[in-house]
Amino acid sequence: MKVGVLALQGAFAAHLGALEQVGASAVEVRTESQLADVDRLIVPGGESTTISMMLERSALVEPLRAFVRSGRPVFGTCAGAILLSSRIVGGRSDQLCFGALPLSASRNAFGRQRESFEADLAVRGLDDGDFHAVFIRAPRLEVIEPDPPGVDRPTVEVLAEIDGSPALVRSGAVMCATFHPELGGDTRVHSMFCEM
Ligand code: GLN
């Protein structure tokens, strides 16, 4: 299985290491042809406004939309989760989101850099202990009604929570985390994604 990590900006390097540790072959994705060549994709953390702009510059907006639509698994972490959401609160007016799952993402809802924090999360499906999660300028996610309402979409499963909001969610082939699972050396969330 070949897993791509979108490598336009942000925290992509540590994802490659985590994927290799769980036995996946991991490659950086910066172009349409590299995207076409992977079976699943991680959209990493970083700055969602910048990643959005870089996607436009790299002519990756439509290819990424098509990738999501194709049903190949996609995992967005932090800024990546913002990009995969349906609605962004506190974003730039020109920043894109891909509506991969019915989530509203409030940027920087836990505060700026100095309010970044770590927490031990109970994650559904990981029965061998809490996951030590690193939150860096994390968004707050809220599950919203799919738009248009009533369309036949898989339900959103909340696998972990932070402060009463979803921290890890999965819906069909899409997973989103508001934390950075690639930091801290615990690869169980990456395994979970690779097994989806
Ligand atoms: N606050 C950033 C944004 O809005 C996300 C931070 C992160 O990915 N660690 O894009």
Q: How far is the CA of 133 from the centre of ligand 1 (A)?
A: 15
Which band of pLDDT confidence, cut at 50, 70 and 90, is reported for residue 148?
low
Tell me which residue of 124, 106, 116, 130 sits closest to 168, measured CA to CA: 124
Number of domains forming the structure of the chain: 1
For residue 154, give the DSSP letter.
P
Instruction: Check if 78 is active-site.
Output: yes
CB atoms within 10 A of CB 119: 15
Q: What is the CATH number of the domain that holds 50?
A: 3.40.50.880
Instruction: Check if 182 is active-site.
Output: yes
**Residue numbers of the domain that contains 148:** 2-195
* pLDDT of 147 higher than 70: no
Q: How far is the CA of 11 from the centre of ligand 1 (A)?
A: 10
* pLDDT of 150 higher than 70: no
Give, for ligand 1, the residue of 84, 107, 180 to mutate: max count of ligand atoms closer than 8 Å to Cβ. Answer: 107
CB atoms within 10 A of CB 180: 24
Q: Could you identify the atom of ligand 1 that is nearest to the CA of residue 136?
A: 9
* pLDDT of 191 higher than 90: yes
Mean pLDDT of the chain: 94
pLDDT of residue 119: 96
Give, for ligand 1, the residue of 5, 48, 77, 92 to mutate: max count of ligand atoms closer than 8 Å to Cβ. Answer: 48
Q: Is the CB of 78 under 6 A from ligand 1?
A: yes
Which band of pLDDT confidence, cut at 50, 70 and 90, is reported for residue 126?
very high
pLDDT tens for residues 38-76? 999 999 999 999 999 999 999 999 999 999 999 999 999
The residue with tokens 């985590």 is: 18
The bridge status of strand 25-29 relative to strand 2-6 is parallel
- Token readout for 74 is 């996609």
pLDDT tens for residues 82-107? 999 999 999 999 999 999 999 999 99
Say if residues 167 and 142 touch (Cβ distance below 8 Å): no
pLDDT of residue 54: 98
Higher pLDDT, 177 or 152: 177
pTM for the full predicted model = 0.95
* pLDDT of 153 higher than 90: no
